[in-house]
Structure 1
């Protein structure tokens, strides 16, 4: 059945994926409605179940698809040779911005999946993929980081959290600001300038002078 969906014309396939990602992200698995999905996608309900056996198989497909997309366009491109924590997060933020700007609903969906691993019970292969992805993020946040850049009077782990929250918060704020607009129509230069000024402030707060 999934082969039928994969063979769909790209625009139609993307429309169905976006509708499904949005529905599960907004309502969770139990409350998600296939009626709302088909209405948003502009297809008949029978057609949806021509591609997917049931709601659960659709949900599992979305998780697998999202993991592949994140791995290809984000995770595999993270530079683990960068030892400066803020610079590593900066490079990650740029990658993440590009991916989620094009696939915003995918990002929202994966956030809810991470919070609801038991709803419904996931097949072990999918659960393993999610756990591996989470383990990789732990590696990204901790491995090969030069701790000597941080001030001696700073709790490094708490500094990590504050820096990460600040950068992610700014990204989310911009995504909300630009919702419904084409990024190609927006002059991003002022926003990037602000972003790099914020990075300088974070460095001034947590790094030793001259780092």
Structure 2
């Protein structure tokens, strides 16, 4: 699996190493991943991997950043045109992430594996948490609260939505954890389930039409 469209043949060794690391860590996880295999995937000497990144930990950190870049870039690009309606915004954000993950399967698998791999340290989980927090910030920015029922704040609505997501996440993790593709083939299924729950919560939070 590739991280997306093929990179130019003249991509720098550092870029090739990063893409190879994303694929290797996505395939094998942190513990089983090999710097030698990463070097082979990138077509460079193992010493060059260490020259650029110093250690397996540093390379893993850089690979996670590499995997998150297309998601963060897509969200940043979409920010000026996000719908003001809370639920339409959630749907749009979900669609953006789905497209990115479809285009970058190795990035998706590395992000998910980093969430479920018990060998991954708290430091790396914190990096993923920071990325998720930035995504959540977009829910509040200039959102239209006029359709909420009287007495319901945007903060309460978002908190409820996050609680629904937190309840769904363990089920997703349990379902995909043992899958070789870490649920990549089922992305649309889980997005559809999430959108169904969104509609149910929306009908409870919004005033009757």
TM-score, normalised by the number of residues in structure 2: 0.60
State the match for 1:151 in structure 2.
149
Shift of 1:206: 0.8
Deviation of 1:168 (Å): 6.7
Matched with 2:55 is: 54
- C-alpha separation in 2, matches of 1:108 and 1:7: 22
Aligned equivalent of 2:198:
199
CA distance in 2, matches of 1:48, 1:170: 41
Q: Cα deviations across residues 48-83 of structure 1 (Å, max 9, x unaligned)? A: 442233224313422442342223344423465411
The Cα offsets for residues 73-117 of structure 1, whole Å up to 9 and x where unpaired, read as: 444234654111111011111222333452323323676999527
Distance 1:84 1:168, change over 3 A: farther
Shift of 1:150: 1.1
For residues 139 and 73 of structure 2, what CA distance do their matches in structure 1 show?
A: 19
Post-superposition offset of 1:5: 3.9
The alignment status of 1:116 with 2:123, answered yes or no, reads: yes
Deviation at residue 187 of structure 1 after TM alignment: 11
Instruction: For 1:111 and 1:76, locate their aligned partners in 2 and report how far apart those are by CA, in whole Å.
Output: 25
- Tell me the residue number matched to 1:38: 34
**Structure 1: 5+ residue runs without aligned partners?**
27-31, 120-126
Instruction: State whether structure 2 residue 14 is matched by structure 1 residue 18.
Output: no
Q: Give, in angstroms, the shift of residue 146 of structure 1.
A: 1.0
Distance, in Å, in 2 between the alignment partners of 1:114 and 1:198 is 32
Cα distance in 2 for residues equivalent to 1:142 and 1:72: 19
The equivalent of 2:3 in structure 1 is: none
TM-score normalized by the length of structure 1: 0.60
Name 2:70's counterpart in structure 1: 69
Residues 83 and 146 of structure 1 are in contact (CA less than 8 Å); yes or no, is this contact kept in structure 2?
yes
1:160 corresponds to which of 158, 161, 165: 158
Partner residue in 2 for 1:137: 135
Change (3 A) 1:14 1:63: closer
Tell me, yes or no, if the aligned pair for 1:78 and 1:91 is still in contact at 8 Å.
Answer: no
Report the Cα distance in structure 2 between the residues aligned to 1:184 and 1:59, rounded to whole angstroms. 21
